[in-house]
Amino acid sequence: MAGELGQQTVELGTVVRQAAEESYLALRDLVEKSRAADTEGEGGQQRSDTEKKIELLKFIDRTRQRMLRLHVLAKWCQQVPLVLYCQQLASTLSSHETCFTQTGDSLFFMHEGLQQARAPIFDVPSAIEVIHTGSYRRVPKCVEEIGTQNTLFQDERKPTLKKLSTLVRAKLLETMVPKEISEVSVTDGIANVQVDGEFKVLLTLGYRGHFSLWRILHMELLVGEKTGPIKLEETRRYVLGDDIERRMAVADNPFTVLYSILHELCISFVMDTVIRQTNVLRQGRWKEAIKSELISDSHTSAGQGGNNALVQLGQDGELDLSGFRIPGLKVNYWLDERNSGSAESDSSPFIKVEALQDMQIKCQHSSFVLDPLTDKEADLSLDLSCIDVEALIFKAIACNRHTRLLEIQRELKKNIQISRSPTDVVLKREEVHMNIMQKRMDRRDFENCCTNEVLQVRAYGQSYIHLGINIRSAGFLLQSPKNILPPSAILESEEALNKGSITPPEVFVSLKTRSILHLFAATGRFLGLKVYSQYQITLKIPKSILYGSDFMVMGIPWRANVYYLLMQLDNSLMPVFYLLEVHADGEDRSNADATSDAKEAVRFNRIDIGQMQIGLEYLSTLRSEVAFGKRPLSEFLLNIPSLQPAIISGGPSKRRKLPEDASSMQPGTTLTYGTILAKGNWCITENIYASVLLQVIKHCLLGIKYAQLTTQMNSLNIPYVEEVGLATPSSNLWLRLPFAPDGSWKHICLRLGKAGSMSWDVRINDPYYGALWKLHGGSTTAGWGSRVRIANTSEMDSHIYFDDDGVILTYNSVEVDSIQRLVSELQRLSNARVFACGMRRLVHVKVDEKLGQNQLATKMKLHSPKKCFRDRLSDQMTKTFRIDAVGLMNLWFSYGANAMRVVHFVVEWEAGRVGCTIRVSPDHLWPHTKFLEDFVNCNEVASLLDCIRLTSGPLLALGGAIRPAKMPAVPAVCSSAQKQNGVLLASGSSSTTVHTNSHDAQTSSMLSAAGRTVPGLVPSSLMPFDVSVVLRGPYWIRIIYRNKFSVDMRCFAGDQVWLQPATPPKGGPSIGGSLPCPQFRPFIMEHVAQGLNTLEPSFLNARHTGPHLNASANTLSGSQQVVTTPNPLSGGAPGVVKLTPSVGSPVAPSVSRAGNAMLPSSGFPSGTAGASAHLSSCTNLPVHMKGELNTAFIGLGDDGGYGGGWVPHAALKKVLRSILKYLGVLWLFAQFPDLLKDILGSVLKDNEGALLNLDQEQPALRFFVGGYVFAVSVHRVQLLLQVLNVKRFHHQQQQQQAPQSSTQEELTPSEIHEICDYFSRCVACEPYDASRIASFIMLLTLPIPVIQEFLKLIAWNKSLSQPHGDIATAQKARAELCLEKHSRSFSGDYTETSLPSKSNIQHDRANNSVDFTVTFMLDHNLTPHMSSSGGAGWLPYCVSLRLRYTFGDNSHVAYLAMDGSHGGRACWSQHEDWERCKQSVVKAVKAVNGSPATGETGQGRLQMVAQMTQKQLQLSLLHLRDGSLSAGSTRS
C-alpha cells in the first residue's frame, strides 16, 4: 500500500480546487449554523457572541493551516523540471544497467561457444625450421611445455640487439633532435632521451609493427621535490604515452613533439608545486611573514592551491591544450606592518616566478640585489629536480640583506670614532646549518635568526659587536658576546635603530662606550669590587667632572662603601677616572651603600693614566697578544710584573728596595698607558684596558689599605712608625706590642705589600725561628738535639711560616678585625715560643748524647755532696721527659722511663681559642686536661711537668685496674708450688701464702675455654658504666663507682698516693660525696702489706683477733651451738652457721649482729679474685714509707667509713683493683634493704618475713623468711650468708617430757649448706647485679618443698659445671638457673607479667605457681660451625627455657617460652629447625609430668625437666649436625 501511494500522482490544480471547495463548504456550514441558532434563540436560549467567535476562530485556523500547506506544495511544484530531469537520468541509468547486464550475459555464453568453435594454431616457424634444417631445437622436455616459444635463445639475443641498435642509431641520424634535449644514447636497441631536471624517455622502433615508427618503452618525470620526483599514475602514463606515440607517428619531427608535450607537462607540474609549497609556507612557519598571489589575466584564482587539472583529455582521448596558460606566482617578503592591509601601497620586496613565452621558468627580484658569494647581481633560479621555494626565499633574503649591510658598512667607515683601521668594520659571513635555518625567526637569540652574514664593528681588541637583519621582519639585530655588553644595552639600541630615531653610527659609538665601561665593570667584579651603573647609583656627583650620561661607579669593599671609583670616556673614547670619597648621612658608615639614600661625594681626585708608566717588555707582550689572538685574563694578570709577588705564595719572599726616583729607570721605558690608548684602537685589547684599571686601582688600594690598618692600630693603642721622605709612598710600618717576649721582638715590620695587591704581611726577626729553620733543614746544632723534629702546622695557620731570619705572617685582605687577628696570632706565637723555651730549659735538650753524658757525669762529681732539691728535680725531668717535635704553634713531648715512652702530649695553640689545648695519648688516661692547660697558660712549665710526673703513674695504675689484668696460668703455678688444702705454698718461701678463690679460678678457666679472653689475662668484671673518673684538681683524682661510692686519690711526691672515701657535704651522700665505706683503711693497708711483703707476722696474726660474737643483750646465750663450716673459697666445702640453743636458755628477742669477726678471717680471701702475686723483694721502698705503713696499722678500728691511707705506686694497681671489687660488694650490700622491703612486702605477710636489723658500720643485716633467719655480712671483697633455723631453736627451748615428732617440713643442714654455697657462687659474684639478689630473695619466699626442688636442680647444675680436672669440660653441655632479669624476646604465645620487681623468678602465691628460667649451654662439640658477627661472637650458644612450676596436690611443670642466643635461635639458623626443636622440648616437658613421683626416682621434678630438656637439645643438635653434614655432602 505504501508503494502504491507513493506511485500515485495528482494535478496541482486539482489540489487547489479541492482545498478551495472544502474551505467554502466549511464557511457556508458555519454561517448556516449561526443563522439557525439565531432563529431557534427567539423561542429558546440564544448562543452567545463568545461561542460564535470561538467557532469562527477555529475555522480561520483550519483554513490558514490548509492554505499554508497548499503554498508549500506550490513552491515545491516549481522544481518539477529538475525533478523530471533527475527522473530521466535515473531511467537512463536503469536502462544502461539493464544493457550492461544483458551484454555480460551474452559475453558469458559467447565465451562458452568460442571454446567449441576455436581452430588449431599451427606452429609455422617450427615447421619452416624442420623443413630447412631437418631438425627442431625447441623440442620440449615434456608434453606440458609444448607451445610457441616467444623468446630468443641466449646466442640469438646479442646479434639481434646489435642489429636493432644499428637501426635505432640510423633512425636518430635521420630525425632532428631539439637542442633542449640534454642527453641521447642508445644501448641494446633502446634510445635514452633525457632533459635534465624534466623527464627521461626510453624509445625503440616498432610502433604497431612498423619498424620505421618510434615506440615508447618507459617514461619517467624528473621534476620533483625533496621527497623525490613526481610519480604519474599508471593509467595517465599509459594514455599520455599512447598519445605521444600517435603524434610522433604522424609528425615530421617526432622528437620535437615529444619534447613540447613533456616540457609543457613538467612546467605545469613545477608551477603547481611552487604554488602548493608557497601556500604551505604561508600557513606554516612563514605565516604572516610572506604573502603570495598568482600572475594571470584574471586574479580570481589568486591565493588558491593551483591548477587541479593542468592537462585534460578530450572526448576522443586527445590532449586538449586549447586556451591553456600556466599562471605565475609573486611572493612578497619582509612585509611592512604599516602597509600590510593595502596591496597598492605595499613596498615590500618580492620574487616573481613565472613561465615565459618560451615556456622557461624565470625567477626575478623586485630590486637590484648582490650575491654575497660573487658580489655580482644575484641570479635567482629553481632546481626543477628538487623544487624548494623556501630555499629560493632564503637566497633572495640573503642577497637583499647583503646589499643593505654593504650600504651600512660604507657609512660606518666614514666615522673616525668607529673606524680607525681596516679591520674595525668587517662584513663577515658565517656558516649556518639548515637545522638552525628551520628554527623560529622571532627569537631574540642572534643565532636563531637564520642569518649567515653579519656586520662586525670592533668594540675593543678582538671583541666585536654584530649587526644582522631578521629574515622575517627585516629588522636590525644587534648581538655581542655576553662579556662585552649587557643584554639591556643591546635591546635598547636595537629598538632605537629599528624605530629610526638614531642612525647606525650613533648607535655604535654609544655601544662602544658602553662596552669599554662594561669591560671595566667585569674586571672590577673579577677583582671583588662592587659595580654600579648610572641607573643604580644615587651618589651626588658634581656635573663638572661628568662627560656624558654613560659612566660606571665601583665601590671598593672595605669596612663600608665609603670609597668609589668613577669611570667614564671622553669624546675621543679615552678613559677618565675619578676617586670619590663619600660620607653617608649622619656619618653612618656601617650601612653605606651606593644604592641607598642619596649621598654626596665630599672629595674627588682625578687619576691621570697619562702618568702611569709601562715597560717595553710588557708592551711587546701585549702586541704579541694582538697578533696571535685573545688571551685569558688570568694569564694577563701573571704577565703584570707588579702583581707577580702578590700571586706567588708558599715560600718566604725577600724584600726589594724600591727606587727613590722615577728617573732611575731605563731610558725608553717611560711609555704610559695614555700613550698606548691614544695610538689607535687596533692594538687596544681587553688586557690593556684591564691593565689600565688595575693600575688605577693600585693607586686607590694602597692609600685605602694604609688608612684602614692605621685606624685599627689607633683604636687598639698600638704604637707604630712609618717611613717618610722617599720619592715613592712607603709600604712599611714598624710596630711595638706590649706582650713581646722579653723585649726580643723590637722589630715588628708590617708591610703593606705591592701596589695593586690585596695582601699584606708582618715580619719579625728572631733567632729562635732561625734555629727552627735550621732544624727543619736537618741541622743537629740548632740547640734542639738530634731527636727533635719539626711539628706539622695546622691548615688554619698555613699563612704563617718562618725562614732563616724570623717568622712571616701573610694576609690576603684587610678585614674589620685584621689588626686584632694579628695581635691574637702574635700572642699565640709568643706563648708557644715561651713554652718551648721553658721546656727546652727544663728538659735539658742535648746536642750530642755522649757529650751530654760526660757533662752530666762531671757535674755529678762536682756537686754530688751538695746537690739541692732543684737539681734532683731537674735530673728527674731530664730522665723522664723528652721533647719529640716543635713547631710554630705546638710542641710534642713524652713522659716515661728510659726509652719506654708511656704518655705522649701535644700542646697546641689553636686559632680562635684563648689559651692552649693539650691532647694526650692514650686519650683515656686523663679525663680532661683543664688543669694541665692552666699550668701552660700561666707559664708554669715546672708545675706542669711535676703534675704529669706525679699523676701519670696513678692514672696508669687506675687504667690498668679497670682494664683486664695479667695473671699467671693456674697450671704453671701448681707446677712450681706445693698445693696443700687449697693453699699454694711458694717454693723457697714458707711464710708467704697466696689464697686462691676456687670459684674465680674456675670461672676464669671456663671463659678462657669459651674464647672470651686470651691466655694470661683475667677478664675485667666491671661493666662500662661501673666506674667513672673525675679530676677534682691537678693532683686530686676521684673514682666514682656506680654513682654511689667515691674514692679520692691524691697524688704527692715520694711515689705514693693517698686513698680515702670522698667525704659528703653537709647535705649527706645524696648531694655529693660517697656512701660510707666501712673498714676502708684496714682494707687497703692489708692489701698494701700483702703486695709489699714487709709486714711482721705479728700483725698478720693480730688482724684475726677479735670476739666472734657479742655477749650483749641483743646476742644469743652462750649455750647456743655455733656450727661453722669452712669457707667455700678456701678450698673446702661451703659453710653454714647454725645456732642451736641449750636447754632452758631464754629466747632472744632478735638475732645478734654478725660482723666481720663472726668467722675466722683466715678462711676468707684477702686479695683479688685471682692468685695475688706479691712484689719481688728487690723492690726499693723508701724507709719512711715502711714506717708510715706500720703506723697505719696501729688504728685499724672503725673510722666511720671515711678513713684513708697511703699506698705506694708499686702496689697501687692491685690495691685499686681490690678497692673496685670492695666497692662492688658494698654496692651490692646496699641493694639489700630496698629489695627486701619490695619483695617481702609484696609476696609475704607481715609475720612471715621482714628486715630485722641493719648495721651500716659492719656492714651487716638480718632478715627472716618463714622459720629461718638469714644474716648477710660484708667481709673484705665478698658477701657472706648465714642461716638460722628459728623453728628448731624454739623446739629445743620448749622441751616436753614426751618427745613429739615434728611434722613440719624443714631444710636439712646439707640443704642449708647448698643455699649458702649457691649464694656465694652465683648470687654475690661478679659482675654484680641487683636482679640476682632479688631473684634469690624471691626464691627464699617459696614453700620448703619448692625450695628443695630448686636445690636439687641447683645441685644437678653444679655437678654439670664441675671441671673434673679437664678444662675442655667447660665447653660441654651444662645448665643453670637464670637469676638475672633481662629484656627477652620470647615468642608471641607467652606474655611476661609486668611486675615492678627486679626478680627474674616470679612467685604467684595465690595460684601456688612460680615462673623461672633455666639456661642451657649447648655442647660446643655438637654445635655446627657458624660465623657469628658482632660483639657476641665469642659467647657459647645458649637456650633459655621459661617454665611455670605449679606446686600443691597436683604439681606439674608447664612450658611457657623458649629463646635462643645469637639472634634468638642460637645455632638453629633455619626457622623450621628451630620450631621443630621447640616442639621436642615441649613434648619433653609434658612427658615429665606423666613420669613416676619424684620420691620414687630420688630426683626432683625440676631436675627431671632440666635433664629431659638437655637430652632433647642434644638430640636436636645431633640431627642438626647430621642434616648439615648430609646437605654439605650432597652439595659437594
Q: What is the pLDDT of residues 1352-1364, one digit of tens each?
A: 989 888 887 775 5
Is 1452's pLDDT higher than 80? yes
d(CA 916, CA 942) in angstroms, rounded, equals 16
Q: What is the spatial order of strands in the sheet that 183-187 belongs to? A: 183-187, 190-195, 199-207, 210-221
CB atoms within 10 A of CB 458: 23
Q: Determine what percent of the chain is predicted with pLDDT higher than 90.
A: 23
pLDDT in tens, 730-778: 678 888 887 766 667 877 899 988 777 778 999 999 899 999 998 888 8
Pairing, β 1138-1140 against β 1121-1123:
antiparallel
pLDDT in tens, 692-743: 888 888 888 776 777 778 888 888 888 888 876 554 446 788 888 877 666 6
3-state secondary structure 658-725: CCCCHHHCCCCCCEEHHHHHHHCHHHCCHHHHHHHHHHHHHHHHHHHHHHHHHHHHHHCCCCEEECCC
Least confident of 23-37, 118-132, 1089-1103: 1089-1103
Of residues 1171, 1162, 1159, 1188, the one with CA closest to residue 1101? 1162
* Mean pLDDT, residues 525-543 taken together: 81
Question: 345 pLDDT band (50/70/90 cuts)?
Answer: low
CB atoms within 10 A of CB 274: 24
Provide the pLDDT for residue 1165.
31
Is 1466's pLDDT higher than 90? no
Provide the pLDDT for residue 40.
67
Sequence-ordered strand ranges (E) for 1370-1462: 1374-1377, 1402-1404, 1409-1417, 1438-1446, 1452-1460
How many residues does the structure list for the chain? Answer: 1532
pLDDT in tens, 1051-1066: 988 788 999 999 888 8
* Mean pLDDT, residues 1466-1480 taken together: 87
Whole-number average pLDDT of the chain: 75
Is 200's pLDDT higher than 90? yes
Instruction: Specify whether the CB–CB gap between 130 and 136 falls below 8 A.
Output: yes
Instruction: Specify whether the CB–CB gap between 759 and 705 falls below 8 A.
Output: no
And the C-alpha cell for 1466?
642460637
What are the phi and psi torsion angles at 215 (to 5°)? -125, 130
pLDDT in tens, 480-505: 887 888 888 889 999 999 888 889 99
Least confident of 93-107, 372-386, 994-1008: 994-1008
Pairing, β 539-540 against β 599-607:
parallel
d(CA 1441, CA 1506) in angstroms, rounded, equals 9
Is 1253's pLDDT higher than 50? yes
d(CA 582, CA 594) in angstroms, rounded, equals 9
Is 850's pLDDT higher than 70? no
Of residues 694, 700, 888, the one with CA closest to residue 807? 888
pLDDT in tens, 1270-1309: 999 998 788 999 998 877 766 665 554 444 444 457 888 8
1027 or 301: whose pLDDT is higher?
1027
654 or 954: whose pLDDT is higher?
954
* pTM of the entire predicted model: 0.55
And the C-alpha cell for 750?
708590617
Q: Determine what percent of the chain is predicted with pLDDT higher than 70.
A: 70
d(CA 251, CA 244) in angstroms, rounded, equals 10
pLDDT in tens, 631-665: 443 443 344 343 333 333 333 333 333 333 333 34
Instruction: Specify whether the CB–CB gap between 1205 and 1194 falls below 8 A.
Output: no
Is 538's pLDDT higher than 80? no
List, in order, residues 6 or more apart from 15 with CB less than 8 Å away.
Answer: 70, 73
* Mean pLDDT, residues 1489-1495 taken together: 64
Least confident of 345-359, 1170-1184, 1384-1398: 1170-1184
Q: Which of the residue ranges 108-117, 722-731, 1220-1229 has the most confident prediction, judged by mean pLDDT?
A: 1220-1229
d(CA 317, CA 320) in angstroms, rounded, equals 9
pLDDT in tens, 781-802: 778 888 899 998 888 999 999 9
